[in-house]
Structure 1
Amino acid sequence: MIHISLMSKLCHIPGRSLIPFTFFLFLAMLLGGCTSYIPREKVPGIFASYTSNTPVKVVAIPLPVIASSPNEGITAGALTAFLFHNKNDEINALLAPQVNHNTNFGVTTSLYGAFYPTPDRNAEIDLSQSTIINNDYEIKLHDKTFFDKQLELNLATYLFNDGSARFFGFEAKSRKQRETNYTDAEIGFNLSVGYDIGRHFQVVLGERYRDVSIEPGAVKGIPYIKDQFSNRHVPGINGFATHSQRISLVYSTLDSATTPTFGGFAKVTFEPTFKALGGAADFRHYEAEAKGFFPLDDARYVSVFRLMYNQTLGKDVPFLEQSILGGETTLRGYGRNRFIDNSFLLCNLEERIRLFRWEIFNVTADWEVAPFVDLGAVMEAFDKARASNFEFNPGIGFRAIVRPNIIGRVDMGIGRDGPAIFVGLGYPF
């Protein structure tokens, strides 16, 4: 998945001079976008999941990539998004090759693909390789066509190296001055099988494996985590493995899995990890989540909330397996993994407002603005939560939605460390 993060250091670096150039480059590339109709027999089946002789509509949109963050520095490059349509003029597949340059990671080439052959079956691929440290290879599969659509299968496999990873210490008041850098090198998989019980309930059984190595990072000028901390103070700093099983109970009345505008969602999860089965330690995750969607004026306004509690119990739990807040899906005023402890409590409030519906390159998109507030804190245990430890992150988001599958978003939140901007695909929750 294509994720670009911009944060507060943008206003302290020469990258600001790129903005006027980027604006005109963006306009020029938009004008270069085009729509083509390709004979069906010349298009691989994965991009056209129908058998008629109707030509396949393909919309190509070239875009610049300009980003900067305190984690990664300046990134500049370009991508082209190819949107393949089915015979009902719905997007059937997305393919986005990309090339960019970053001082810390060199030249990165990547390819993102999303395929939607049917409403109940889809797949994603993300292939990325940098000349310095970073890479990312992911495959995700979703299939709910088994047993008369009562059985749902999800599988994600991955291998990546992230040389921009950060650790600030534990507890809610971990200081920015303790910032350290490292490479998070991982390989693993996540498998789940869900079975519908009645109309709104589902029982989910899951299996997760994760092998983590902690290596020197790619960002110069920030201390290496192992030079500042030891395994005694930070369990898992020398690497670890996790092999866990989980069970979840899910309740959902959502009108859509990817672009909901109405309904409720609740999930409770228990996930134990055992050394006897290959884990680094014996520990347990408990998690409860609730979401609600309340539309007005034919879903032009959708009020959304999420409440979430996570607790990790055990001894010598690896730091990346503890309860973590920060990033584009939790506290959007901070970078990923900013706060770590045994538990967290999180509340997200968002008002999604459809501004207009616009057709560009024969693709119809809903354009939304979404003011939001994120409120959350990590803590040793729920009974030790303190009001002074909660982070209050107000912000605003901008989204473009091509229903029923594609969501592009820009979210900007403000935290104690300054503003943070995240660009990506899919709703944050």
Structure 2
Amino acid sequence: MLARLLVTCMLLVALLTGCTSYLPPGSVPISPLSEQNVKVVTIPLPAISANPNEGITYGALAAFLLHNDKDEVCTLLAPQVNYNDLYGTTGTVYGAYYPSRDRSYEWNISQSAKINFDYELRLRDQTLMDKKLELNAFLYTFADGSARFYGFQDSKKQMETNYADQETGFTVTAGYPLPFDHTQVVFGERLRIVDIDPGAVTSVPYILPRFANVPGVHGFVAHAQSLGVVYNTLDSNTMPTTGIRLKVSIDNNAQALGGSADYRHYDTEVKGYLPLMDARFISVARFEYSQTLGEDVPFLERSSLGGENTLRGYGRNRFIDSSFLLLNLEERIRLFRWELFGVTADWEMAPFIDLGSVMTSLVEANSRAFQFNPGLGLRAVIRPNIVGRIDVGVGKEGPAVFVGLGYPF
């Protein structure tokens, strides 16, 4: 009860201390903001999260929302400071720039006192070649000292181990339309360099003594090319309210091109959005099947479930094997539309069910191994670009709370 009261008080203080200000032309050195008075809405917020891998994190952030001449939020800057018992104090600056609906840039700079760091740059551009070419690029380096591995298949809690997952790499994809309505072919290239080091959780055994013979536990390199076909009728790629999206893809990793082993990923995903009552209610469903084939496949390159975007009742990569089946059902309910400091936000509640299982192959699927995660999400949606969310999922090992940006799918 005391914790709930404290959080409520912090939210009220945040809402009361927010403000709107204006910067003169030339203060923001990016077009078109450099040529106009820029409205800046500043909202301080508490940042509290808890998940099975990291435990509880406490902190605060200030969200600076910069508006263009159409009074749309086109730039977000969010410095944050938080504390976690595993990593100590962490400083983070997240930024996003949306010059148009067809182009966006995102970056994240985060450094902890112990082990953890995260540096990311993401680009999306749909303006190339008369808007025929869709380009996505993601460059990253990070370290996560709370990573877990439990073994393969229906892994048991008592087999839990910890390690620090340190990765550097990039992913680039390019989509081009095919001569069929709403259909494009997608080519991709990715590089992933992984080091496995001692983690931050001293109460859990280190991965190497228990799983020393598992491929990838001494580090690995993945260098893969992908080919996919996408059928997409969504009304928006970032905040869809209606339509379907179907993707079928193959991803091939080869030793000849620098990878640690030869293997392939096959993936099929379909997502559907059905609006009701003028989009006051949006029924959302996602089904995904993934299969990994090959010898000596690194454990982090296999099919995995768990975390904020798949099974939300468990930590990231809780279940790993050569294949998975996943079903997510979610009802996004707009509770009310509220204008605060000149920013119009839709406040949503989203009850959800996540159902999924890993397996060696599809023919070996066992209904008793499926994980059933009911939960509830709370979302603040600032159209056309920004979604803040809190998802609380409940699995067999207890509840998990995830806080972040963007819809889970």
TM-score, normalisation: structure 2:
0.97
1:348 equivalent in structure 2: 328
Instruction: Give the deviation of 1:338 after TM superposition.
Output: 0.4
* 1:270 and 2:250 aligned: yes
- What is the DSSP-based 3-state SS (H/G/I as helix, E as strand, rest coil) of the residue aligned with 2:48? strand
| Offset of residue 51 of structure 1 | 6.2
Q: Aligned runs of 1:81-230 on 2, under 5 Å?
A: 81-171=63-153, 173-198=154-179, 199-230=181-212
Q: Can you give the 5+ residue segments of structure 2 that lack an aligned partner in the other structure?
A: none
**CA drift at 1:285:** 0.3
- Find out whether 1:400 has 2:380 as its counterpart: yes
Contact map agreement 2:394 2:400 (CA 8 A) in 1:
yes
1:154-210: CA deviations, max 9, x gaps? 110100010000011100x21111111100000000011111224401111000000
Aligned mates of 1:70, 1:351 — CA distance in 2: 25
Matches within 5 A, 1:374-389: 374-389=354-369
In the alignment, which of 74, 77, 81 is matched to residue 56 of structure 2?
74
SS of equivalent to 1:344: strand
SS in 2 for 1:367: strand
CA-based RMSD: 1.3
What SS does the corresponding residue of 2:47 show, helix, strand or coil? strand
- CA contact under 8 A between 1:202 and 1:250: conserved in structure 2? yes
* Secondary structure class of the residue paired with 2:145: strand
Change (3 A) 1:363 1:67: same
CA contact (8 A) 1:37 1:57 kept: yes
Paired letter, 1:77: G
Could you tell me how far apart the structure 1 residues matched to 2:12 and 2:202 are? Answer: 35
CA distance in 2, matches of 1:346, 1:112: 30
Which amino acid is 1:330 matched to? T
Per mean C-alpha deviation after superposition, the further-off stretch among 278-287 and 67-76 is: 67-76
CA distance in 1, matches of 2:300, 2:158: 20
Q: Which runs of 5+ in 1 are unaligned?
A: 1-15
- 1:293-304 paired onto structure 2 within 5 Å: 293-304=273-284
- Per the alignment, residue 43 of structure 1 pairs with 28
Provide the rounded CA distance (Å) in 1 between the counterparts of 2:342 and 2:50: 32
**2:363 aligned counterpart, secondary structure:** helix
| Distance in 1 separating the partners of 2:211 and 2:2 | 38
Give, as a single letter, the amino acid of the residue that structure 1 aligns with 2:86: N
**Contact 1:49/1:92 (<8 A) preserved:** no
Instruction: Give me the whole-angstrom Cα distance separating, in 2, the residues matched to 1:214 and 1:39.
Output: 49
CA distance in 2, matches of 1:22, 1:384: 46
Which amino acid letter does the alignment assign opposite residue 262 of structure 2? D
> Structure 1 length as normaliser, TM-score?
0.93
Partner of 2:232: 252
Structure 1 pair 85–138 and aligned structure 2 pair: CA distance change class (3 A) = same
Q: Is the 8 A contact 1:393 1:414 kept in 2?
A: yes
Deviating more after overlay: 412-421 vs 21-30: 21-30
The reply to whether residue 310 of structure 1 matches residue 290 of structure 2 is yes
Aligned length: 408
Q: 1:9: which partner in 2? A: none
Q: Do the aligned partners of residues 154 and 371 (structure 1) sit closer, same or farther apart at CA in structure 2, a change above 3 Å counting?
A: same
Shift in alpha-carbon separation, 1:51–1:206, aligned structure 2, 3 A: same
Equivalent-residue separation in structure 1 for 2:217 and 2:87 (angstroms): 23
Q: CA deviation at 1:388?
A: 0.8
Report the identity percentage: 59
Q: Do the aligned residues in 1 keep the contact of 2:50 with 2:401 (CA within 8 Å)?
A: no
Q: Distance in 2 between matches of 1:51 and 1:166?
A: 46
After alignment, is 272-281 or 60-69 more displaced?
60-69
